[in-house]
Amino acid sequence: MAKIIFLVDDSATMLMSVKNTLELAGFKVETAEDGVKAMAKLTAGLKPDLIITDINMPNMGGIEFIKKARALPGFRFLPILTLTTESQQGRRDEGKQAGATGWLVKPVGGADLLKVIKQVLPGA
Amino acid sequence: MAVQSKNNAEFKKSAWRFFLISTGFAVVLVGVSIVFHSTLNFRLGRYEDALFLGLAWGVFSVSQWRLLRLSQKTVKLLPEDQVDANNATLRYIFNRISAYVQDNLAFNNKSNVDFSAASDKHTIALSKAIGVLNTQITHLTETLAQHDGDIDQEFHLFDDVATQTAQTITQYLTLSADIDNALREHITQIATSLDDLKSKLNTLNRKQHEALPSVDNTQNFREIEDIVYLHLSIDNAIDEQLKVISYDTHQSALMLLDLMRHLSDDAESIVKYISNANEKNISKMESDMENSVKFIISIEKFIQNIQEIPDKLRADIAAIQSASGVIDSLAHLVDSIKEISFQTDILAVNAAIQAAHAGEAGLGFKIVADEVRKLAVNSNNAAEMIESGLEKARHTIQDGLKFKFLDEIMLQMNGASQVMIYVQQLQDSQEDMQQYYKTLFAVINQNNTKLAHDISEVLGNIQYEDVVRQRVERIQEVMVMRNDLLRQFAAQLTSDGSAEEIIMQLNNTLNDYLSRESHHNNSLQAKDDEDALPKFELF
């Protein structure tokens, strides 16, 4: 049973890039364009094994999305990675406090991304 | 014709006038020069001045004389545009003369050199100017002589020029007569001009004040300076980011190119490997296939042989059964013979007993009875011999059949072992092929893994587009804000109020932009900064 990764980013290029990398590696990928749409999918019953989210998005940004997702039942220990152009320590701390599992700075090559995913999803 | 004659006459008259005036000018010039030199410490070394002036006058006179001669002929004038051009050149030369004079006057006034030196300079300059004038007139006369045209139409133009020249020369004569006055006059003129300029500037300044009564210029300029400085700072900040964008785009393009080259290499090596493998192995595979076909034909034959065995076996069994039947029936006969011989023996015994009873009469009968008894014993012996013979025959048949089967089996065994070899060879060949394809697939798989990795890296690199797009969006945002503030400032220039608020907002815009930009990864800084935060961090 392929693991499901939920990808949240407002950039179509990012979605295409990361989705293809993950699908090539054998994952099943679900996508959403912002925090609001992502929350809608999660509340509708999507149960991913990992969430990878951007930080700067319209309607609802990544930090707020992580906070809201963590509050959902069954999402307390789900690994959530951020994938963003932001790199400053202050923003990383915000992400950590919101409940992010790790911080990735764009751009991330396929091999590096899969290495990090293997660390947070040991069975993958 | 009458008009032409009249014009010709006017032309001659003007030329005469021009000649007289210019000759007079030259004479006066030389005279003035001599007078000045003699009154103001005329020195022996200045003879060359007089010589030069005399020479100039000579050249000038010759040209005047040529002009005069020309004027007495029927002159063919230039086309209008060339006349205009010549007039312009003449005016330019007169202006130059004027400039020379003014330059000299200005120079003398400034350096306070003695009047004699001033006069010398002026005279030399003037004589040079006359030289130029002379050349131009010579040129003009030559041009006039060379061209055809309607003299009536163009004559008055030349007349004007001649008049103007005469007036200018008169002016210079006056100037030469009283250089000091001219000097003072020029100084006064310059002073007046300066005053006028000053007055105009004051008027301009006053008008500006009237237009912007409440704006303090000093303050205004300071604010403009601040705004320009901030504007430049924002542009510098944007420029820094554009450098990063340029670097990122360049690096990304290089990486993509590199990865594409890897992809291409990997794909090429797969194709090469497969085509090589085909070339090398195709002949071996063909011979293996041929052998396999041969083996299969041999196996088929063997199988046919095996199929024939049951038929033979059935025939052999039937023959055995039939032989056994015959032997069995013969055995019955042996038993009958034994029975007959037994009964014959009993009969002989009985006959012997009866012969004994008969005494002498039975002696012959007794001999017969003995003979019969002997026959019975012999028959029994014969029957046993037949029986043993039949038994031997049965054994012999059975043994014979057994040996035949063994031969068959041996033969089949040989065939089977041969088939086993064929099967082994087929199996080997199949294993070879399996191994070959296994290796082929392993190599292809390895290359596919590399291809997948490279494709994945290419996909990762596409993320640069998002990084660059976000950076450009931030630039666009700050530029919109800056332009809005500049528009506000432009509107405020013509109204009351200070631009302090705008400067503050502009400053905030710059700081906000720099702060936001510092939150993001900067590949140019990260490249050189060893303490840069890691790209991947697990909390």
Question: pLDDT tens across B385-441, in order?
Answer: 888 888 888 777 777 666 666 677 677 777 777 777 777 777 787 788 778 778 877
User: Any idea how long chain A is?
Assistant: 124
Question: What SS3 state is found at A28?
Answer: strand
Residue B164 has pLDDT above 60, yes or no: no
CA B64, B69, B71, B77 torsion-angle sign:
negative
Residue B141 has pLDDT above 60, yes or no: no
Q: What is the third-level CATH fold of A1-27+36-83+109-124?
A: Rossmann fold (3.40.50)
- What is the Cα–Cα distance from B89 to B174, expressed in whole angstroms? 24
CA of A76, closest CA in chain B: separation in Å?
A: 15
In sequence order, which residues have a C-beta less than 8 Å from that of residue B22 and are 6 or more positions away?
B60, B64, B165, B166, B169
List the beta bridge partners of residue B161. none
- What pLDDT, on a 0 to 100 scale, did the predictor assign at position B154? 43
Residue B142 has pLDDT above 60, yes or no: no
Q: Which residue of A has its CA nearest to B452?
A: A24
Question: pTM to 2 decimals?
Answer: 0.45
List the beta bridge partners of residue B328. none
User: Hey, what long-range contacts does B238-245 have (CB within 8 A, 24 or more apart)?
Assistant: B238/B475, B238/B478, B238/B479, B241/B471, B241/B474, B241/B475, B241/B517, B242/B475, B243/B524, B244/B471, B244/B522, B244/B523, B244/B524, B245/B468, B245/B471, B245/B472
- What pLDDT, on a 0 to 100 scale, did the predictor assign at position B102? 58
Per CB-CB distance under 8 Å, the chain B contacts of A70 are none
Partner residue opposite B537 with nearest CB, options A85, A102, A109: A102
- What pLDDT, on a 0 to 100 scale, did the predictor assign at position B43? 47
Amino acid at B489: F
CB contact under 8 A, A108 and B460: yes
DSSP A87-108: --HHHHHHHHHHT-SEEEESP-
Confidence of residue A64 (pLDDT cuts 50, 70, 90): very high
Amino acid at B409: I
The better pLDDT of the pair B300, B497 is held by B300
Asked if A64 reaches chain B (Cβ–Cβ under 8 Å), the answer is no
Asked if A59 reaches chain B (Cβ–Cβ under 8 Å), the answer is no
Residues B257-279 as b/e (b if ≥16 CB within 10 A, e otherwise) read eebeebbeebeeebeeeeeebee
Angle, CA B93 vertex, CA B88 and CA B97 arms, to 5°: 145
CB contact under 8 A, A110 and B459: yes
Residues B62-84 as b/e (b if ≥16 CB within 10 A, e otherwise) read ebbeebeebbeeebebbeeeebe
| Domain locations in chain A as residue ranges | 1-27+36-83+109-124
CB contact under 8 A, A105 and B469: no
DSSP B167-213: HHHHHHHHHHHTHHHHHHHHHHHHHHHHHHHHHHHHHHHHHHHHHST
Q: Which residue is listed with tokens 């072992």?
A: B417
Residue A41 has pLDDT above 80, yes or no: yes
| pLDDT tens per residue, range B317-355 | 777 778 777 777 777 788 888 888 888 888 888 888 888
User: Hey, what long-range contacts does A97-104 have (CB within 8 A, 24 or more apart)?
Assistant: A98/A63, A98/A64, A98/A66, A98/A67, A98/A70, A99/A66, A99/A67, A99/A69, A99/A70, A100/A66, A100/B539, A101/B538, A101/B539, A102/B536, A102/B537, A102/B538, A102/B539, A103/B536, A103/B537, A103/B539, A104/A52, A104/B535, A104/B536, A104/B537
In sequence order, which residues have a C-beta less than 8 Å from that of residue B528 and are 6 or more positions away?
none
Range ranked top by mean pLDDT from A31-35, B470-474, B495-499, B534-538: A31-35
Per CB-CB distance under 8 Å, the chain A contacts of B467 are 85, 106-107
Domains and CATH numbers, chain B: 273-447 (1.10.287.950)
**Average of pLDDT values for B104-108?**
51
Residue A7 has pLDDT above 70, yes or no: yes
- What pLDDT, on a 0 to 100 scale, did the predictor assign at position B177? 46
Confidence of residue B297 (pLDDT cuts 50, 70, 90): confident
What backbone phi and psi angles, to 5 degrees, belong to B419?
-60, -40
Amino acid at A32: A
CB contact under 8 A, B520 and A110: no
Per CB-CB distance under 8 Å, the chain B contacts of A15 are none
Q: Which residue of A has its CA nearest to B526?
A: A87
| pLDDT tens per residue, range B108-117 | 445 444 444 4
CA of A46, closest CA in chain B: separation in Å?
A: 24
Identify from B254, B450, B453, B459 which residue to disrupt to test chain A contact, counting A C-beta atoms within 10 A and taking the largest count.
B459
In sequence order, which residues have a C-beta less than 8 Å from that of residue B539 and are 6 or more positions away?
A95, A96, A100, A101, A102, A103
**Average of pLDDT values for B492-504?**
75
How many CB atoms lie under 10 A from the CB of residue B134?
19
Asked if A1 reaches chain B (Cβ–Cβ under 8 Å), the answer is no
Identify from B453, B465, B466 which residue to disrupt to test chain A contact, counting A C-beta atoms within 10 A and taking the largest count.
B466
CA B161, B167, B168, B169 torsion-angle sign:
positive
The better pLDDT of the pair B119, B361 is held by B361
Least confident of A76-90, A104-118, B402-416: B402-416
Residue B55 has pLDDT above 80, yes or no: no
DSSP B382-400: HHHHHHHHHHHHHHHHHHH
- What is the Cα–Cα distance from B171 to B178, expressed in whole angstroms? 11
Identify from B453, B520, B533 which residue to disrupt to test chain A contact, counting A C-beta atoms within 10 A and taking the largest count.
B520
